[in-house]
Amino acid sequence: MCGIVGYIGTQKASPILINGLIRLEYRGYDSSGISTIEKNELSLMKDKGRVKNLYNLEGINDLKGTIGIAHTRWATHGKPSQENSHPHMDNSKTFSVVHNGIIENYNELRNFLKQNGYTFYSQTDTEVIPNLVHYYYNQDKKSDDLKFLCAVQKACTDLKGSFAIEIICKDYPDNMIVTRKDSPLVIGKGENENYISSDIPAILSFTRNFYLLNDLELAILSRDTIHFYDKNLNPITKDTQTIEWNSSSAEKDGYEDFMLKEIHEQPTAIRETIGAKFNEATKCEFDELNYTKDYLSHLSKIYIVACGTAMHAGLAGKNALEKLCNITTEVDVASEFRYRDPLVDEKTLCIFISQSGETADTIAALKLCKEKGAKTLAISNVIGSSITREADDSIYTHAGPEIAVASTKAYTSQVMLITILAIYFAEILEINDDMISTLKRDILELPKKIEETLALSETIQDFSKKVYQEKDIFFLGRGIDETVAKEGSLKLKEISYIHSESYPAGELKHGPIALIENDITVVSIMTDEKLVEKTISNIQEVITRGAKTLVITNQKVDENMFDLTIKIPETNPFISPILSIIPLQLFAYYISKEKGLDVDKPRNLAKSVTVE
């Protein structure tokens, strides 16, 4: 839940490092720092608070080193403080380290190092790393070019948990070593310079050519070379991958906030997700998949496993998988999934959804399913991310970088991709249903309808001004609309800090109605014509008790019944969540703005949750 940046080249490192940290602010953090090599000595500049605080540190403008590492920290071990901020050095100030992840056996390692004369100055788990590297470095009496690398490799062998690490050494002023395990790290290749980051957008303006490390692989970087090694220090070769994202995708492009920009990018994101996978006359194609009728017809169950918003996308996708493919589908929260010993075997297909591809709980659940013999399929927005390398197969949303912590275009792209996947499965199973051809046509028309829905922004903004000071807001829906209620409620919680709850509308009278009182706001989604009348009956119960009502619908309703009715375009029920969530994304956004909050970086949250 923090960010890493590194640079080695011919330019001054400090401005590049700080710029990279600013681009990683969306991940959530409480402190930041940089370390460079200055005349064969290590410099260290760090402080708690925002990255901009680094500009005020004495001497930071005097840094001239062309190699350095940087970090934004989110406190796990030890409170936010200057002492606990990264980077960390060993006692002799020979090594400087930044680290994402959790070292689970840090107490054991700390005690071992104390017994060997080392002193600790922070409460962090990370501080054991530079001291452990120094311990092995001191034991090695050789002075060859691999002494630094060997010490890092031995130290990493002792670490248990997750880590992405950058290390510089004053004795090797022309080298940097990076490695990872269960935590993201990418290497960007430049001309006589190389870049390192935990997230591609942080360095996308410098290069589009990236190397991706697998678990426990190491890389030793100079200005013009990169040498890769496996965990046993056997040399390996790697090819670069070219990332096609436009660097301006990581900028606001005139929008006040990244979240608003990304809400308005949804027509484009959906077009990219649809890609060339089908047209009305052709079967759906996934070049990267090779599922057979025999395999799919013998499945006993599909599991969709994810966290937060991605899990809500799974709930929307469950509807299409069950109704189009006739395969029982369950959606499970990744953080709970593996602890209940799920009934998974070779007749189970397990689908894992993660925008970043680095969600720790989801990756752990994936590994468990592989151990149990299930086929695994990853859905991610990031090519080469950890989850896509662990899974048997992977497909991508191609939504482009999502910078705001609260997910918007990633969610709608995930719903879109799962729905297309359901069509793909149904066609392999030779389920010749008119529903599929109709759904294809509706999917191709969807981006235009999203644009029509976005045009409703001003009306939603006006309503938000009337309710932004409320303490509680409720969301109701039935069927597929109930999954949208969950996501709408989550969005409001995430960025406005208003307590909100979502319920199936039919459950209202089984307890929650006790919370409805005069002037409270209730939001309802109604897009399923078979359930509209029943949902209206439930809404009438809250109106009777004095509630204000906001209704999102594409059905014929008596708009005079409600305080505000947002009419969205009609579309296929399988993809209606993609349209009906957009007014709720805007609703949460405008309420947060009215409250004067930081929309893109809500408190206590991070974009990529890389620890359990």
DSSP 186-253: EEEE-SS-EEEESSGGGTTTT-SEEEEPPTT-EEEE-SS-EEEE-TT--EE----EE----GGGGS-T
Report residue 608's pLDDT band, with 50, 70 and 90 as the boundaries.
Answer: low
pLDDT at 63 over 60: yes
Query: pLDDT tens digits, residue range 563-603?
Result: 899 999 999 999 999 999 999 999 999 999 999 999 988 88
Continuous segment of H or E residues that includes residue 160: none
What's the mean pLDDT when you consider all of the chain? Answer: 89
Query: pLDDT tens digits, residue range 194-246?
Result: 999 987 878 888 888 999 898 899 999 999 999 999 999 999 999 988 877 66
Long-range contacts at 529-533 (CB < 8 A, ≥ 24 apart): 529/555, 530/479, 531/478, 531/479, 531/481, 532/557
Task: Please report the pLDDT score of residue 147 as a whole number.
Answer: 93
pLDDT at 610 over 50: no
Pairing of β 209-212 and β 241-242? antiparallel
Contact 604, 288 (CB under 8 A): no
Rounded (5°) CA angle 382-332-373: 80
Only one residue has tokens 């190389």, namely 194
**Percentage of the chain with pLDDT > 70?**
96
Question: What's the predicted TM-score (pTM) here?
Answer: 0.69
Give the C-alpha separation, 380 to 366, whole Å.
13
Q: Where are the alpha helices (DSSP H) in 291-400?
A: 293-297, 308-325, 334-337, 360-371, 386-390
Give the C-alpha separation, 544 to 310, whole Å.
35
**Percentage of the chain with pLDDT > 90?**
60
Helix, strand, coil percentages, rounded to 5, for the chain: 40, 20, 40
Task: Please report the pLDDT score of residue 376 as a whole number.
Answer: 95
- What lies within 8 Å, CB to CB, of 437 at 6+ separation is 280
pLDDT at 356 over 80: yes
Which residues carry out catalysis?
Answer: 2, 607
Beta bridge partners of 227: 220
Task: Report which of 529, 545, 527, 408 is spatially closest to residue 477, judged by C-alpha positions.
Answer: 527
Query: pLDDT tens digits, residue range 155-166?
Result: 999 998 878 999
Contact 521, 543 (CB under 8 A): no
Contact 87, 96 (CB under 8 A): yes
CB atoms within 10 A of CB 2: 28
Give the C-alpha separation, 98 to 68, whole Å.
10
Task: Please report the pLDDT score of residue 249 as a whole number.
Answer: 58
Least confident of 21-30, 314-323, 419-428: 21-30
Least confident of 290-294, 474-478, 504-508: 504-508
Domains of the chain, with CATH numbers?
3-249 (3.60.20.10), 252-452 (3.40.50.10490), 457-594 (3.40.50.10490)
